[in-house]
Structure 1
Amino acid sequence: MIGIFEYFLKKEIPILMYHRLINNENGIGKNTIYLNVEEFEKQLKYLKDNNYITITFKDLYILSKEDRKKRKYIILTFDDGYKDNYDLLFPLLKKYNMKAVIYMVSDEKYNKWDVEASGEKKFDLMSKDEMLEMHKSGLVEFGGHTLHHPKLNTLTEKEQKHEIEENKIYLEETLGEKLCSFAYPYGIFNVTSKKIVKELGFNYGLATDSGAFYIDDDLYQVRRIGIFSDITMSKFKRRVKGNYNLKYTK
């Protein structure tokens, strides 16, 4: 059991994990990795009204441990690079002057991995020009997410390195700067995956619901907090307090 004082005293920067935003029923898929854009805007407004500051992993990397405690920082991450991130997320980031990190699958035009595996509806990924526009705004940082979104633990070391490295090369050449973080597709990986991500020069490797409570305890298995279609505002408020993951890591 976690002591009541320990629960309220321990804090860490919340890292939220989103995927798709929707604005009509056409965006509803079999998987629940979507959120209505109106609900997302309510979340941004709550963060703004409560003095949260959105940062990226490049921002985090240069923040000292003492500086992290002085403000209410939070990181918003979006996996896969869906076109709705450009159409719906980007305007809201500009409206509220907030930042996000998008993990981009670079060698697919749509969510082929989900369509083939589970019969999910087809949802387009953003174009190169859309990605560049978001990057140049200074509000969006892009991270690695492989070429084709495989389950890395099913691949050989050579295959894993190809998926991760070629994705990194393409994104860095396109954006004109070094990537800081990588997100494991599905949150699935193994020791080899973590080794490759570290050796390729990423500063962080992001998981989903695994990893330590504190980010610095394992930079290559950083735990995130999933935000899906069933997250009410009351649930959201609990998830951004800074101690939400503590109950899962004890």
Structure 2
Amino acid sequence: MTSTNQSIVLMYHGTPTANPITNYSLQACLFQRQLAYLDKNGWHFAKISDLLEDKALPSSSVTLTFDDGYADNFENAFLPLVENGMKATWFITTDCIGKHAQWMRPPSEQTKMLSADQIQEMSNAGMEIGSHTCSHPDLSQLPFKQQLDELTRSKQILEDIVQKPVTGFAYPFGRYNEDTLQAVQAAGYQWACSTRSGWFKKDDNPLLIRRVTVFSGDTSSVLARKLNFADNDVSLKKLANYYLKRLKTKLTPQP
């Protein structure tokens, strides 16, 4: 089902100037084009916390989220957003602040992470800062106590940096279990982002907010289809099958 009048959350990672070394990062020039597309087509930029508030938002609201906390986000995402009066949400892996992404080898320009000063500046400029754990583990493979430690310590570290409550979280690798959901609540988070695609709906579980992934090769036309279908896979083959099924349904006589 398509829609142009709903809220949607997009998931980004790195925004390097050079060609990305991972399929989850988007080259800075493509990100700039996507921003221009969103702005030109009347999308309202909101933070996750804005979506969850009881007040009504403009139709077609979009939230840009950035996982991990890559250093290239500062110049290539944060600054363009600020210059255009736009807001976004960042999820920071605290053990890597000012260092490199420890799950990416070997260290390179694209594995550099944001510094504490940069995170503080982004927060002061109106960006939303959330947690992405301390060490970026697969939480579903850890015992409850270790999960709670990852969630609690990262929250405290970020609150010490931004000097305000950190209420949001994103699951590393999108993985979690029932213990994780309990640990998120026990650590004091009010909401959390998953990697399941779909529209944002206020009535859904706030600990399982859906997001649509932006991949390295996504042009503005691909983004347009993702905004229309709220799905990670918007290949032309899949869309052709979708419309063919709709046509068959429409032409099938009703009993």
Question: TM-score normalized by structure 1?
Answer: 0.85
Matches within 5 A, 1:41-120: 41-64=32-55, 67-68=56-57, 70-108=58-96, 109-115=99-105
2:207 matched to which residue of 1? 220
How far residue 10 of structure 1 moved from its aligned partner, in angstroms, is 8.8
The answer on whether the counterparts of 2:197 and 2:230 sit within 8 Å (CA) in structure 1 is no
Gaps of 5+ in 1: 1-6
Please tell me whether residue 244 in structure 1 is matched to residue 230 in structure 2. Answer: yes
- Measured in 2, the distance between the counterparts of 1:247 and 1:84 equals 26
Deviation at 1:12, TM superposition (A): 3.6
Task: Determine the C-alpha separation between the residues in 2 that align with 1:11 and 1:247.
Answer: 20
Which consecutive unaligned segments of at least 5 residues does structure 2 have?
235-255
Change (3 A) 1:134 1:213: closer
Q: Distance in 2 between matches of 1:247 and 1:191?
A: 27
- Give, as a single letter, the amino acid of the residue that structure 2 aligns with 1:16: L
Residues 215/62 of structure 1: CA separation in 2 closer, same or farther (3 Å cut): closer
- Secondary structure of residue in 2 paired with 1:74: strand
Question: Which residue is 1:150 aligned to?
Answer: 137
Deviation of the 1:211 alpha carbon: 7.5
Match of 1:4 in 2: none
Q: State the alpha-carbon separation in 1 of the partners of residues 200 and 162 from structure 2.
A: 32
Equivalent residue for 2:125, pick from 116, 119, 137: 137
Cα gap change, 1:44 to 1:246, in 2 (>3 Å): closer
Note closer, same or farther for the CA distance 1:239–1:9 as it changes in structure 2 (3 Å cut).
Answer: closer
> 1:38 Cα deviation (Å)?
1.1
Is the 8 Å Cα contact of residues 212 and 232 (structure 2) preserved in structure 1? Answer: no
CA contact (8 A) 1:15 1:225 kept: yes
**Partner residue in 1 for 2:251:** none
- Structure 1 or 2, whichever has the larger Rg, is 2
- Write the deviation string for residues 138-181 of structure 1: whole angstroms up to 9, x where unpaired: 1x110011000000011110100000110001111211111121
Paired with 1:209 and 1:227, the residues of 2 have a C-alpha distance of: 13
CA contact (8 A) 2:9 2:199 kept: no
Contact 1:44/1:96 (<8 A) preserved: no
User: What's the TM-score, normalizing by structure 2?
Assistant: 0.83
**Further displaced range: 207-216 or 155-164:** 207-216
Residues 139, 172 of structure 2: 8 Å contact kept: yes
Q: Give the residue type in structure 2 aligned to 1:94.
A: V
Aligned Cα root-mean-square deviation (Å): 2.3
| Corresponding residue to 1:164 among 145, 148, 151 | 151
Tell me which protein shows more helix as a share of its residues: 1
Q: Which of 9, 12, 26 pairs up with 1:15?
A: 9
